[in-house]
Structure 1
């Protein structure tokens, strides 16, 4: 079975390249490695919580948390790796 999900190569705590794993049974072998685009990289995901208090937070509360995360990305030690960052609640 072929897994075409992108993966990150990390060297010294820095993402240095993206790769697509060709064979899910091998560890970093058979990967098609490509450079990270200079203009942008999009990262998306889903956050799931089992904490009853957090599970009942409003969309605005979650957006406030994401806005704080964006501010943290803009500050040291990550600032040099992020020109801009945007986070939204769907």
Structure 2
């Protein structure tokens, strides 16, 4: 079974490395360095959709919805997991 290690520069995970040897270091030998890969996209971005059937909320203006998602971003940034995010953005379509 492969052991997965993170390559961290500063406070940012910049790559991952899977080694079959539990004692192997990804950065010590050329064959091991070749196993360093970028962080998969599925771990870089979180996305989703929100929809509502509530007639009162559904009739809100686009600007009001943008204010709601901006507030959610601020709450995410200042919440207990805020330090785990490099940035966040949201768009109302």
Q: TM-score, normalised by structure 1?
A: 0.52
Provide, for residues 49-75 of structure 1, a one-character-per-residue CA deviation record: whole Å limited to 9, x for no partner: 111110101111110000000001110
Q: In the TM superposition, what are the counterparts of 1:63-74 in structure 2 within 5 Å?
A: 63-74=66-77
Aligned partner of 1:43 in structure 2 is 46
Structure 1 runs not aligned, ≥5 long: 1-34
Deviations 1:6-63 (A, max 9, x none): xxxxxxxxxxxxxxxxxxxxxxxxxxxxx855xx722222211111110101111110
- What is the number of residues matched between the two proteins? 56
Cα RMSD over matched residues? 2.6
Structure showing the higher helix proportion among its residues: 2
Name stretches of at least 5 consecutive residues in structure 2 with no aligned partner. 1-37
Larger radius of gyration: 2
